[in-house]
C-alpha cells in the first residue's frame, strides 16, 4: 500500500496559541494572534506555490514565518529593529546603527543572506532622477540660507505635528521663504491645513502628492518625522530636523543625529530655535551615506528564482555528470549502468527533435540545477506526462521540485491547452510520491507500468492531476 498522506495542519488551536508565550515586542500591533493571522494568510495564498513572500510587519517573527513555509519557496523580511527572531532567506535593513549585523546574527539562521546598511535603502526611481538633477548640490558641503522649506509628516498625523510645524515656521520664517506642505488624505487636520495655506501665500499644500521626489529635491531644509522618508531625504542630501513620533524610531534617529545626519526636536519651542539658527547661519547637507539598493535586492531575489530554460550545450554535459549518480538514476527510474557519453548525447539529440516532447534546463538564478520535461503530448485526450529531477545534490530536498512542477503544469495548461498532467513514480521514492500527492496528484485507475517496460520490482505507479 502507498503511505497515507498526513492531514493538512491547521494553526490557531488553543494548543498552538498557548505556545506563543514569547511574543515579539510589538505583538499587539497585529490585532490578532500570530497563529490566526498566519492561517488567514495561508487561506489567502491557497492554490499556488509562491516564489517569494515579502514580510514587513513589526508583529511578525520566526513563528509566523515558519507557518508560511508550506506555500512559499523563499521568504524576505524587511526590518529595522532587530528585536525578534526570523526564519527567512533574505533580510533587509537599511539602518545605520553600528551593532546591527551582530544583533541580527543572533536572530537569524546561518543560511540567511543579510542586506544591512544604508547602501540597501529601498527608494522609488523618482529619487534617482531627483538626485541626478541635484548632482552639483549633492556633492556640495557648503552652507546655504534656506529659501524653500518642506514639511512632511506621514499617515494621519494623529498628534498634529504638521500644524504645529506650520505655526512654528509662521512665527520665525524670513520674508520671501516658500513652504511646501505634504500631507496624506487622512491627515487629522486636513481642513485646518487647507485654510491655513489658503490664507498664507508662501505656503503650498500638497495632498497625497505623487511628486514627493520633486518637492523634496527643491527644498533647502525639511521638517519631518522618521520612517522610510528618512532615507529619501538623506539620499538627496537634504538638511532636516526630525521629530520622533514612535518609540521604535528613538534609537535609530538618535544615533543618526549623533553622527550629523539630521537634527532632532521635541517641542515647538525647540523647532523655532532650530529654524532661527538655520535662517541665521544657514544649513549644510548631511554626509552622503545612502544608496538606492533596489537593484541589488532585486538581483538577490532573482538569483534564487527557479526558471525553465532551453538546454544549452554545457547543460547537457552537467546532466551527463549528474546521471553518473546511481541513487539519482534509481529515483528517475533509469535501470542498469550509468549512461555513456556517446549514448547520452545521441539520446538528447533525439529528445530535442521529437515533436511530442519538450525538455528544459532547470535554473535557480544563473545556476543550472536540474532537468525537466514533457512527453507523450496527447492533444486528443488533452493529457501530457511530465518528469523532473534536481541534479545538484546540495539543492535536493529544498522545495525546488515543487516550483519546477508548477512551472511544468503552467506550460501544459496555458501553452499546450491540455488539462491532465500525468507522472510515473516509484512507490519507494517517498520524497517524489509525497510531492505529487501534496500537490493534487492521485493514483490513476489505469496503471500502465508493464506496458511502459518498467520492471515489477520497481513497482512504478501512474498518478494524474486535473489542471
**What's the pLDDT score for residue 68?**
94
Q: Residue 3: what pLDDT?
A: 38
- Which fold, 125-294? Rossmann fold (3.40.50)
pLDDT of amino acid 1: 36
Half-sphere exposure of 126 (CA within 13 A, CB side): 11
List all residues 6 or more positions away from 173 whose beta carbon is below 8 Å from its beta carbon.
Answer: 149, 179, 202, 275, 279
The number of beta carbons lying within 10 Å of the beta carbon of residue 397 is: 10
Listed in order, strand segments (DSSP E) in 318-379 are: 358-364, 367-378
Alpha carbons 125 and 292: distance in angstroms, whole number: 9
Q: Nearest-CA neighbor of 60 among 43, 71, 40?
A: 40
Q: Between β-strands 263-264 and 240-243, what pairing exists: parallel, antiparallel or unpaired?
A: parallel
> What is the pTM (predicted TM-score) of this model?
0.75
In the chain, where the domains are located: 14-116, 125-294, 305-466
Please state, in angstroms and rounded to a whole number, the distance separating the CA atoms of residues 285 and 138: 8
What superfamily does domain 305-466 belong to in CATH? Gcn5-related N-acetyltransferase (GNAT) (3.40.630.30)
CA separation (Å) from 18 to 15, 22, 35, 61?
5, 10, 10, 16
- CA 141-144-150 angle, to 5 degrees, is 105
Return d(Cα 385, Cα 416) in angstroms, integer.
12
Domain 14-116 has CATH 3.40.50.11190: yes
Q: What is the pLDDT of residue 22?
A: 74
pLDDT in tens, 40-96: 999 999 877 788 999 999 999 999 999 999 888 899 999 999 999 999 999 999 998
Residue found under cell 547637507: 285
Mean pLDDT value across the chain: 88
CB-CB contact of 151 with 182 (8 Å):
yes
Q: What confidence tens digit (pLDDT) does each residue in 258-275 have?
A: 999 999 999 999 999 999
Same fold, 14-116 and 125-294: yes
Q: Cβ contacts of residue 185 below 8 Å, gap of 6+?
A: 207, 208
Question: Average pLDDT for consecutive 10-residue bins of the chain (467 residues)?
Answer: 39 47 83 93 87 94 93 92 94 91 90 94 95 77 92 94 96 89 96 96 95 95 95 96 92 95 97 95 94 95 90 87 80 73 81 87 92 93 93 85 90 94 87 89 76 56 93
* pLDDT of the residue at 9: 41
Amino acid at each position: 500500500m502507498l503511505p497515507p498522506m498526513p492531514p493538512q495542519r491547521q494553526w490557531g488551536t488553543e494548543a498552538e496559541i498557548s505556545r506563543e508565550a514569547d511574543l515579539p515586542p510589538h505583538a499587539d500591533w497585529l490585532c490578532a494572534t500570530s497563529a490566526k493571522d498566519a492561517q488567514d494568510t495561508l487561506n489567502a495564498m491557497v492554490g499556488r506555490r509562491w516564489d517569494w513572500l515579502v514580510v514587513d510587519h513589526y508583529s511578525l517573527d520566526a513563528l509566523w514565518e515558519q507557518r508560511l513555509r508550506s506555500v512559499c519557496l523563499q521568504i524576505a523580511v524587511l526590518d529595522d529593529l532587530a528585536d525578534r527572531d526570523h526564519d527567512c532567506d533574505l533580510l533587509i535593513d537599511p539602518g545605520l546603527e553600528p551593532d546591527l549585523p551582530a544583533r541580527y546574527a543572533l536572530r537569524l539562521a546561518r543560511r540567511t543572506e543579510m542586506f544591512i546598511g544604508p547602501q540597501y535603502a529601498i527608494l522609488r526611481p523618482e529619487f534617482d532622477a531627483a538626485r541626478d538633477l541635484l548632482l552639483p548640490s549633492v556633492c556640495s558641503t557648503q552652507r546655504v540660507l534656506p529659501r524653500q522649506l518642506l514639511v512632511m509628516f506621514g499617515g494621519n498625523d494623529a498628534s498634529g505635528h504638521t500644524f504645529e510645524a506650520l505655526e512654528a515656521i509662521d512665527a520665525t520664517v524670513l520674508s520671501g521663504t516658500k513652504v511646501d506642505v505634504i500631507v496624506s488624505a487622512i491627515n487629522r487636520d486636513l481642513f485646518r491645513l487647507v485654510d491655513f495655506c489658503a490664507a498664507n501665500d508662501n505656503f503650498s499644500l500638497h495632498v497625497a502628492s505623487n511628486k514627493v521626489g520633486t518637492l523634496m529635491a527643491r527644498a533647502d531644509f525639511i521638517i519631518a518625522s522618521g520612517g522610510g522618508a528618512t532615507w529619501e531625504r538623506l539620499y538627496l542630501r537634504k538638511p532636516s530636523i526630525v521629530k520622533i513620533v514612535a518609540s521604535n524610531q528613538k534609537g535609530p534617529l538618535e544615533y543618526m543625529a549623533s553622527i550629523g545626519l539630521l537634527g532632532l526636536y521635541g517641542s515647538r519651542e525647540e523647532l523655532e530655535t532650530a529654524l532661527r539658527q538655520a535662517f541665521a547661519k544657514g544649513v549644510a547637507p548631511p554626509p552622503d551615506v545612502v544608496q538606492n539598493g533596489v537593484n541589488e535586492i532585486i538581483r538577490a531575489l532573482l538569483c534564487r528564482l527557479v526558471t525553465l530554460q532551453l538546454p544549452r550545450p554545457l547543460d547537457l554535459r552537467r546532466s551527463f555528470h549528474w546521471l553518473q549518480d546511481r541513487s539519482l538514476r534509481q529515483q528517475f527510474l533509469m535501470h542498469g549502468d550509468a549512461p555513456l557519453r556517446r549514448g547520452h548525447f545521441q539520446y538528447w539529440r533525439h529528445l530535442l527533435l521529437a515533436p511530442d516532447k519538450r525538455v528544459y534546463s532547470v535554473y535557480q538564478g544563473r545556476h543550472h540545477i536540474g532537468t525537466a520535461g514533457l512527453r507523450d503530448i496527447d492533444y486528443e485526450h488533452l493529457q501530457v506526462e511530465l518528469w523532473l529531477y534536481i541534479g545538484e545534490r546540495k539543492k535536493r530536498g529544498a522545495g525546488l521540485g515543487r516550483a519546477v512542477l508548477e512551472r511544468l503544469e503552467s506550460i501544459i495548461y496555458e501553452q499546450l491547452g491540455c488539462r491532465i498532467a500525468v507522472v510515473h513514480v516509484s512507490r519507494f521514492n517517498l520524497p517524489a510520491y509525497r510531492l505529487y500527492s501534496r500537490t493534487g496528484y492521485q493514483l490513476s485507475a489505469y496503471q500502465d507500468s508493464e506496458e511502459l517496460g518498467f520492471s515489477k520490482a520497481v513497482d512504478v505507479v501512474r498518478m494524474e492531476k486535473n489542471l
